[in-house]
Structure 1
């Protein structure tokens, strides 16, 4: 007989995350990370909810939301209220210029759920900006800042789990929308 328990957590349970992401304790638990939408999954979502039908609108929706479910959900709600996809896209564009909205979004992603995560994120932004890096380079950049390699490894893995990075094979980049919002938050 096999038993399973599914726990859905958020950044408020970072102590549990540490155990799962670092492998410090022997456990049979396996984390499953819910990913941001990519262009393909966003297209499937748009077809399912019958919104943002054109390629141009889908591309713009992806660029303005970064695929973040929180923002895709906002687009869905706004579309229901306004019924005009172009107006929805105009309103979503305001996130990149409104410091209060940018702050709320950056905080909702979890990168500020722990002071060390915020320091780690800033270290990566300072070191790599928009450029590519791999996970080991991320660990090194954070370790240089906080002077603790074990903590740096946890921070890099946690930021990866929080979807703070875009992936291209083994190369990572700071996710652009989050990076812009973090810059406005300061």
Structure 2
């Protein structure tokens, strides 16, 4: 569907590789049969508060108040920067006022929800989700 290198790069940029959004792109392509129009429609996610909220909610970050609070603490503490696992646990424990074991659980759950990008041992918040969470607030 998105058979040129430019379109594939743009698709990844707009979906972050999130299966929900890749599936949406596939459905749109089936309806429109125009990859450029699909990419234009996907681009609105980062600016449309309703769509951003729907996506952020669908990721599961808001499924539990502790997860949502943990994510907010990580966003507040590390913003656009990278961090290590233990720093994430510490930030969640201190910011959410939970015990270290619970903070480990929160960070592990967020990791399972794929909210982190990895670069070696460093983590950072996945940019598309972070933009949508910011817009959702």
Note whether the superposition's TM-score is higher than 0.5: yes
Q: Which runs of 4+ in 1 moved over 4 A?
A: none
The residue that corresponds to 1:107 in the other structure is: 57
Q: What's the secondary structure of 1:110's corresponding residue?
A: coil
Q: How far apart, CA to CA, are the structure 2 residues paired with 1:115 and 1:83?
A: 40
Aligned with 2:126 (options 165, 175, 179): 175
Q: How far apart, CA to CA, are the structure 2 residues paired with 1:56 and 1:172?
A: 27
Q: Which has the larger radius of gyration?
A: 1
The answer to whether structure 1 residue 94 and structure 2 residue 49 are counterparts is no
Q: What's the secondary structure of 2:62's corresponding residue?
A: coil
Q: What's the secondary structure of 1:119's corresponding residue?
A: helix
Aligned with 1:131 (options 75, 81, 85): 81
Unaligned runs of 5+ in 1: 1-50
Which has the higher relative contact order, 1 or 2, with Cα contacts under 8 A spaced 6 or more apart? Answer: 2
Unaligned runs of 5+ in 2: none
- Could you list the per-position Cα deviations for residues 1-39 of structure 1 after superposition, in whole angstroms to 9, with x for gaps in the alignment? xxxxxxxxxxxxxxxxxxxxxxxxxxxxxxxxxxxxxxx
The residue that corresponds to 1:154 in the other structure is: 105
Aligned length: 136
Give the superposition deviation at 1:145.
1.1
The answer to whether structure 1 residue 79 and structure 2 residue 29 are counterparts is yes
TM-score by length of 1: 0.72
Q: What's the secondary structure of 1:154's corresponding residue?
A: helix
The residue that corresponds to 1:3 in the other structure is: none
The answer to whether structure 1 residue 145 and structure 2 residue 95 are counterparts is yes
8 A contact 2:88–2:107 mirrored in 1: yes
Quote the RMSD (CA, aligned, Å): 0.6
Q: Compare the two structures and name the one with the higher helix fraction.
A: 2
